[in-house]
Amino acid sequence: MRIGIYGGTFNPVHIGHLHVADVAASALHLDRVIFVPTGNSYMKSDVDMASGWCRLMMINFACQNDDRFFVSKVDLQREGPTYTIDTMRDMKALYPQDKLFFIIGADSLEQLPKWKNIEELIKEVSFIVVGRKGIKMEIPKPIKQMKDYDIFIIRDAIKLDVSSSEIREAIKRGKSCKYLLPLNVYEYILDHKLYKDWKLLERMTKGV
Amino acid sequence: MRIGIYGGTFNPVHIGHLHVADVAASALHLDRVIFVPTGNSYMKSDVDMASGWCRLMMINFACQNDDRFFVSKVDLQREGPTYTIDTMRDMKALYPQDKLFFIIGADSLEQLPKWKNIEELIKEVSFIVVGRKGIKMEIPKPIKQMKDYDIFIIRDAIKLDVSSSEIREAIKRGKSCKYLLPLNVYEYILDHKLYKDWKLLERMTKGV
């Protein structure tokens, strides 16, 4: 199988994320895209950061209508900050026979040289960069010097500029964002007063 | 009731339209938004222009999860080109007791003075302009001189730049656009080979 790994906070997951996963899956003929929400044990949970459990649930809902999309809690189960090298080691162990890709946005490409154990990481996996117009998409020099890198840049996708922070802000202020999220994710957020009610959120942090 | 009338080709309807309708409904406390697809008897149907029947069906699907959203075929049933003044006369006749608003995008605001019978139109209905960042949103001088105008400009909505033409292009070329449309609309387009198969489309043009 060809598997795309898509890491992020997904706080909350929205149609922009689903579109990116769809673009990557179509362009690189992936059999699966696995969403991997970052751990948050090291971060102070607050009204702006939903618990791992909630973020996992929302991705679960969001993936319900797509046979290619899955979710994994490897990063949520690991102690401490999330590094992609650890995510990929865990995924390698789970899928030893499969070809793994790591999906990143155009904004992350420039930062790539600074990632933990990037030299090892780049040998282990291919990267898929989903482009956005107006953002420079060049492979950074330090990466080019590693030679063995395998980076696919998708430049011609339709861009969909939605951000989780905009959505959290909208929820907080009662502004419209219903159609920026899958319906079941939107309803989950309202039902559980996510990004609004700090006390309720704290109670839900115990899950993962 | 406070009713928003939202005209357009909706070829096809997409999440950008639904978001605009949601923004307008929330900001102006509308009880309903009625989508009114333009007639197309005067236009040559081709692979890029789905029949009125198809566009109506797609809006029907798109409105399924929102109690506030409806669709009307007044413009599809009228002969000749669609003018908003006719749409509004028809809607007035259907909803004589209700307060009517007409929803337009920021791009249309500048064109408003050129609309057919604009002086009559502006007396009859209020306009809701849903803003987009980076687009000038000033009430044009000729409108200001009419004095009695009633135009609400929503400037702080989250923008969602999706276009029907981009989606048609994506469908034609097999590029990703699944998450830019409601799922049932996306599936309808694929099932009926809309924007791809000209012959099938021609057969479906008879409906409305």
Mean pLDDT of B93-120: 92
Helix boundaries (H) for B63-180? 74-77, 84-94, 106-109, 118-124, 141-144, 164-173
Calculate how close chain B gets to A19, using CA atoms only, in Å. 5
**Residue pair A172/A195 in contact by the 8 Å Cβ criterion:** yes
For chain B, say whether A85 makes contact (Cβ under 8 Å): no
DSSP letter at B70 equals E
Which amino acid, B127? F
Which amino acid, A11? N
Calculate how close chain B gets to A156, using CA atoms only, in Å. 9
Q: pLDDT category, A124, cuts 50, 70, 90?
A: confident
Q: Work out the mean pLDDT of chain B and round it to a whole number.
A: 89
Q: Is B156 exposed, middle or buried (0-12, 13-18, 19+ CB in 10 A)?
A: exposed
Give the tens place of pLDDT for each residue, A26-39: 999 999 999 999 98
Q: pLDDT category, B146, cuts 50, 70, 90?
A: confident
**Residue pair A25/A191 in contact by the 8 Å Cβ criterion:** no
Calculate how close chain B gets to A162, using CA atoms only, in Å. 7
Residues 6+ apart with CB under 8 A from B23: A176, B130, B154, B157, B158
Residue A68 has pLDDT above 50, yes or no: yes
For the ranges A11-20, A21-30, A166-175, B193-202, which has the lowest average pLDDT? B193-202
State the complex-level ipTM: 0.87
Mean pLDDT of B99-117: 91
In this complex, do B179 and A19 lie within 8 Å of one another by their Cβ atoms? yes
Q: Rounded to a whole number, what is the distance in angstroms from the first to the last CA of chain B?
A: 28
Domains defined along chain B, listed by start: 2-160 (3.40.50.620)
Q: What is the DSSP string of A7-55?
A: EE--TT--HHHHHHHHHHHHHTT-SEEEEEEPP-TTS---TTS--HHHH
What residues in A contact B170, CB-CB < 8 Å? 158
pLDDT of amino acid B51: 86
Mean pLDDT of A6-30: 96
Residue A59 has pLDDT above 80, yes or no: yes
A187-208 in b/e burial notation, b at 16+ Cβ within 10 A? ebbeebebbbeeeebeebbeeb
Q: pLDDT category, A63, cuts 50, 70, 90?
A: very high
